[in-house]
Amino acid sequence: MPPYETSEQDPRVPAAKRPPSIVAFLLVSILTAAVTSAVVVGVFWGYTPASTNAPIEETNEPFSSHEAAVEEVVDKISPAVVSIVATKDLPVIEQYFVNPFGDALPDPFSPFDFQVPQYRQRGTERREVAAGTGFIVSEDGFILTNRHVVDVPGADFVVIFTDGTRVDAEVAARDPGEDLAIVRIRRQGLPVVPLGDSDDVRVGQTVVAIGNSLGQFQNTVSVGVVSGLSRRLEVEDEVIEGAIQTDAAINPGNSGGPLLNLRGEAIGINTAIVVGSQNLGFAIPANKAGKDLEDVRSSGKISYAYLGVRYIDVTSEIRDARGLQSDFGALISGSAQEPGVLPDSPAAAAGLREGDVILQLDSQRVDTSHSLASVIRAHRPGDRVTLRVLSGSEERDVPVVLEEQP
């Protein structure tokens, strides 16, 4: 996330408690009991089920048009999904033993032979230190993946195709605000995964995930549905907003792989799972990656517009705690280490002050579903926007020219 459009938590507002997740267990228990009862009743009332020994005609035809669509997507897209492997020269350490008494002769009558283990480096060895997934998005070798897949200091990267071909790769750009990166290989005429419009994704639609599961099982395929949209995740020290939630199995090593619709378009980039959950995975919307690709092609880097404020997402709890006139928006609020409005920033030039609440940017309302940071990311440096700002009890329109994030 860009550092100066960041959402903070208000320490005066307690975190919400989550109810225990026991619904699934209860449903399984109830269904099991119901099935058991049905079997018992059938036996005691003399019911004989129809024979299940009739031969099943063997066929290679898909069972349904849905299955056929999945197979077609996999056949079409798999050649453009690659494994990304990070390698490094690591020291080879060997163990040896020495007499702690130096060259002194051992006591021939002692039952002990004192030897102390020591360690020393004997050269280096090239080893694989990390593995993830990527997918080709241009015939001339641009590959989308996650930033965390290539955040390996001092590593070299190799792209591995489904046929085992290995090609040296370089990191063209890392996205500073999203868990995205673009890798480049020097090849032409490559198969491509087209990017779909992630704004058109609907809950319940079928999706296909392909990736290098566990860093060992290349191009593993899983199928599921979109089970949620616009999810907000806190992953280690960064926040992912607007994520697509899916129940298609996503395993470690799948990071950076495509989440596909049945037209064979990547609607997301698989990025995170909830450890300990069942089939709870998340993907970054493809539209965000499309912007990155355009930036790299045009300027060789990924650029962000920025306003230059620190803020707190306004909720009804924040409104009551701070005595605000609105239960939505972005409250400009600094800290002891950093002011809410950065000096020499677009916000400072526009006259914004701590305590102002940004309610709207152009026609987009700012709220917990559309954070100020995510709304600004949709723009480019140099864009002229109008902020609707609440100062005390007075609303006003403030024109601002966004600049490139330092």
Report, as residue numbers or ranges, the catalytic residues. Answer: 148, 179, 255
Q: Which amino acid is at 88?
A: K
Angle subtended at Cα 212 by Cα 207 and Cα 216, rounded to the nearest 5 degrees: 145
Burial of 140 (0-12, 13-18, 19+ CB in 10 A): middle
What CA–CA distance (Å, rounded) separates 307 from 404?
9
Q: Which of 150, 167, 149, 148 is nearest to 158 (CA)?
A: 167
What CA–CA distance (Å, rounded) separates 4 from 234?
17
Give the E-state strand segments of 152-205 in sequence order.
156-160, 166-174, 181-184
What CA–CA distance (Å, rounded) separates 350 from 398?
7
Q: Which amino acid is at 73?
A: V
What CA–CA distance (Å, rounded) separates 331 from 312?
5
For 5-21, the three-class secondary structure string (H helix, E strand, C coil) is EEEECCCCCCCCCCCCC
By DSSP bridging, strand 116-136 and strand 81-98 are antiparallel
What CA–CA distance (Å, rounded) separates 80 from 294?
20
Q: Residue 281 — φ and ψ, nearest 5°?
A: -125, 165
Q: Which amino acid is at 150?
A: V
Whether the CB-CB separation of 326 and 314 falls below 8 Å is answered with yes
Angle subtended at Cα 308 by Cα 391 and Cα 310, rounded to the nearest 5 degrees: 65
Whether the CB-CB separation of 183 and 135 falls below 8 Å is answered with no
What CA–CA distance (Å, rounded) separates 182 from 152?
14
Q: Which amino acid is at 237?
A: D
By DSSP bridging, strand 166-174 and strand 217-235 are unpaired
